Amino acid sequence: MEIRPLKIAGAWEITPKQFGDHRGVFLEWFKSSTFTAATGRTLDLAQANCSVSEAGSLRGIHFTDNPPGQAKYITCVKGAFLDVVVDLRVGSPTFGEWDAVVIDDVDRRAVFLAEGLGHAILSLEDGSTVMYLCSIEYSPHLDRDLDPFDPELAIDWPKTDRQGNPLTYELSAKDAAAPSLTTLRTDGLLPGFVAEESPNR
């Protein structure tokens, strides 16, 4: 398992080693000891989710009030997604910046993001399936949304699916009505940045 820090402190890309034979493939998509050695923290599991999406389905940008915050460990078990992490921590050196990883059923990468970071996924193939581990249970009163098309973020969303066909973005009504980064900051709804947070290694 290889763990690579993304450009935003608190986010990592995890690439597992795959072992295959005539029967199929085996891999470890999460291993606590390896994760802790690379990130310097643990992941307390409180909830595990599964989401199936048609091509063009865009979920996010979502984040949770911090504290308590919600850390997530995400992988794709079928199809492909663009997984996007956004730094929403006011005072962070990378505030407002984003990084992205393609997670799919070929390389079988995972993405981890710490509390205080925003998250979105865009499905690149019909029937794409993502599974993720969460550090706290879903609590609607803590859940926040951010406009994924906010020009201040300027996220470079793919225009085509894995086969090169044009994508039509599909959002939930809640995500389509999400406020901008500036509005969230003005309203005091963004998490703060703790300077002594450990940087990625």
Q: Supply the residues annotated as catalytic.
A: 62, 132
Q: Concatenated DSSP letters for 75-105? A: EEEESEEEEEEEE--BT-TTTT-EEEEEEET
Kindly report each contact of residues 16-25 with a partner whose C-beta sits within 8 Å and lies 24 or more positions away, as own/partner.
Answer: 16/108, 16/109, 16/110, 18/108
Question: How far is Cα 61 from Cα 131, in angstroms, rounded to an integer?
Answer: 17
Of the candidates 9, 4, 5, the one whose C-alpha atom is nearest the C-alpha of residue 199 is 9
C-alpha 80/C-alpha 102 separation (Å) is 7
Secondary structure string (H, E, C) spanning 144-178? EECCCCCCCCCCCCCCECCCCCECCCECCHHHHCC
